[in-house]
Amino acid sequence: MNEEQLVAYLRHRMPDVQGIAVANVARIPGGASRETWSFDARWSEDGAGLVERAFIARRDPTASLLDSNNDLEFDLYTALAGSGIPVPPVHWIERDGTWIERPFFIMERLPGATDARTLVTSPEFAGVLPLVAQQKASILAKIHGFDIAALPALARPPSAAASAMHEVERWERTMRADMLEPQPTLEIAFAWLKRHLPPPPERLALVHGDYRTGNFLYDQSGITGVLDWEMAHAGDPIEDIGWLAIKSWRWAGDERVGGVCTREEFIRMYEAAGGGKVEAATLKFWEIFSNVKFAIIFITGTKSIVQGKTPDLLLALTAFVNPGLEVELLELMT
Amino acid sequence: MRPYPEEVLRAIQTGVVSHFAPELTSNYSKAQFAFAMILFGVATRDYDSAVPDLVDANTTLRALLTDAAAALAGIARDDAADAHAALAVLPPSASSLHLSALRGENEALRALVSQIAPLIEAAGDDPELAALRPSRAAIFAHLSADARRRMVPILTAG
């Protein structure tokens, strides 16, 4: 992705503006499921004079940790605009590689940073951390209260009663398709999950699927945007709480979930913000599920790197996250 | 002969840090470089112990499966009988100390643990599977120890 490609694309999208210039094109590290590029653009517009914008381009990778598509994220950002859930405004989506080699979409770059460790360990953000924790819980309650009827393309299980088993079977299929070696710990975990299915949720909710510290933007004003919706689906809302509670996201190195507050504090704030009741047994189910899901994401990445589908070394490195997940799973199931 | 392969890996790592790292400009390439350095460290660590680790793991797994088969023999349930039959003949031991042979044996043994996973899991609280409970604890302990050996501290939370 380079300046010339982006200028040509913006000219195509905005034929009535003049003097389009693009600068500071840079790929943002991370983003193991989709490439994330940042760039600045400026142009002249009749009546508006000089316009300057900061953009993010999300482009399909050559290989990925996840089988996902741009349409879902683009549609979600579009549907969530104005809902009170902070998401970046999206502009354009391209479903082929005509303009920048692979499909992509473009959205505005919101203010703030995503780095989780900085948020939870830097004295600079110590003062805002309680607010971030409260917003993290209340935004999640809003996400779970969003009417999924507005999202017809959202993947969903056949019923609320089938939602947990639907997710278990979906990830089990992924594991069987992508694993390059036997996975006895995950097999035991799948057996545990199938024997401990939670009661069905009252209704199917919008599940973010990757709601964690590190996937929202923050600054001194608190959370400025919720990102990375590529695993969103309809399901049991407690799935999101199970995911954000796993040990992998305890960035502060203690028991605080996501490094921002205790599990009990988070649940209290979530319920107070209108989220449903969080039962301990249901949360444990989704916490175990989330460790399994995380491990399978890295099994997919391992397959991509071993088969030479990508040069992204992050996918090789993340394979070595799995031993820690296996230890955690075995402890949770003991 | 010297340098040994692990010394070659370390030399390559030192060389690329000295010669390539200063040339990197974008945050993305610097991140990829950092990933490569961690992976060099993992490869160097695992190179030296790969054979004894696999020999030990295979010996342990063989004993665990033998014990599990004995426990299953006393459980009067169809799924236990099927599992017992699956464990009746364990895969052959590796024919050499080549990593490929040892890995083949290891994968075959872990596949058997996978095959009996539902029973191992249920033995935790299913009274009919009580005889399998010691095997469950021992298999959990082995899987946990094996995973801990493979952990990379910088990637481990908590």
Above 70 in pLDDT, residue A263? yes
Whether A261 contacts A219, CB under 8 Å? no
The β-bridge partners of A41 are A22, A53
- Region of residue A38 (left: phi > 0; alpha: psi -120 to 50; beta: else): beta
B120 and A191: CB-CB below 8 Å? yes
Domain spans of chain A, in order of start: 3-108, 116-333
Write down the residue that tokens 């959202």 correspond to: A154
CA dist B74 and B88 (Å) reads 14
CATH superfamily, domain at A3-108: Phosphorylase Kinase; domain 1 (3.30.200.20)
Instruction: List pLDDT tens digits, range A103-162.
Output: 999 999 999 999 999 999 999 999 999 999 999 999 999 999 999 999 988 999 999 999
Whether residues B114 and A323 touch (CB distance < 8 A) is answered with no
Position A13 pLDDT exceeds 90: yes
Amino acid at A13: R
pLDDT tens digits, residue range B144-155?
A: 999 999 999 887
Number of domains comprising chain B: 1
Per DSSP bridges, beta strands A104-108 and A49-59 are antiparallel
Superfamily of domain A116-333: Aminoglycoside phosphotransferase (APH), C-terminal lobe (3.90.1200.10)
Rounded to the nearest 10 degrees, how much is the dihedral formed by the CA atoms of A297, A298, A300, A301?
130
Looking at chain B, which residue has its C-alpha nearest residue A250? B158
- Tell me, what's the pLDDT at A284? 98
As a whole number, the mean pLDDT across chain A is: 93
Query: Above 60 in pLDDT, residue B158?
Result: no
| B157–A26 C-beta distance less than 8 A | no
Angle of the B27-73 helix axis to the B5-19 helix axis, nearest 10: 150
The partner residue sitting opposite A191, judged by closest CB among B110, B117, B139, is B117
Rounded to whole angstroms, the Cα distance separating A42 from A21 reads 5
CA distance A135 to A87: 14
**pLDDT bracket for residue A63 (50, 70, 90):** low
Please answer yes or no on whether B143 and A330 come within 8 Å at the CB atom.
yes
The pLDDT value recorded for residue B157 is 65
Buried b (16+ CB within 10 A) or exposed e, A110-135: bebebebeebbbeeebeebbebbbbb
Contacts B117 to A, Cβ<8 Å: 184, 187-188, 190-191
For residue A200, the distance in angstroms to the closest alpha carbon of chain B comes to 22
Q: Please, which residues have CB within 8 angstroms of residue A323's CB and are 6 or more apart in sequence?
A: B147, B148, B149, B150, B151, B152, B156
Chain B CB contacts of A28 under 8 Å are 27-28
Q: Which two tokens stand for residue B136?
A: 């469950």
Q: How far is A28 from chain B (nearest CA, A)?
A: 6
Q: What residues make up the domain containing B58?
A: 5-155
Q: Judge whether residue A29 has pLDDT over 90.
A: no
Q: Nearest Cα to A25, choosing from A13, A49, A41, A45?
A: A41
Instruction: Look up the ipTM and state it.
Output: 0.95
Residue of B nearest to A189 (CA): B121
Residues 6 or more apart whose Cβ sits within 8 Å of residue A280? none
* pTM of full prediction above 0.80: yes
